[in-house]
Structure 1
Amino acid sequence: MAAEVGHKSAPYTLDSPQSANRSYYDPPRHKGGLFAPVEVLVAENERGPGATITYVLPSSLIVIEENPPLLEAAKALDEKLNALIAKATS
């Protein structure tokens, strides 16, 4: 359930089987699956046209222990998310 923020907002869950990395979902070695797929919040600006997109970089949530292969995969997901947000806002 979304909290009332005084203007329209919508949470979105972004998931793609093609870009999913098996290590995100491979417990107990990797606990990062809790934070995959990625979520973003799109909120209408309170004053004026447009919207604000809020998200947390996946690598900051997925990699919670020393794990170079998982960090590499999560950083690649960061890049894809940043590119998607840039395309959506241009």
Structure 2
Amino acid sequence: MIKPYYAVIFTSIRTPGDKGYGLMSKQMEELAKKESGYLGFESATGELGISVSYWENLESITRWKSNLKHLAAQEIGKKEWYEWYKIRICLVEREYEFTATK
């Protein structure tokens, strides 16, 4: 990834049941990929859901936040899918990783 870059960390606690969440989540990921400045996405689910999207700059994040389809999904999320959520926007200045050899 281009460095430095930004990470939008979305942590949440879901309401019971799917209620269309799975489909909308896939649609939002595909829509985000088309946004200028989008770099990638990672997600893990369990009792606490964690989704991280990566962006070139703050302007890209602002554009994504104000995308009309994304705004509509956010409103449904508040009414149907989430008991709680928090969003953090962080500047990533360094990264490293490990991959086990086989």
Q: Is the structural similarity TM-score above 0.5?
A: no
TM-score by length of 2: 0.29
Q: Which has the higher contact order (CA 8 A, sep 6+)?
A: 2
Structure with the higher strand share, 1 or 2 = 2
TM-score by length of 1: 0.31
Structure with the higher helix share, 1 or 2 = 1
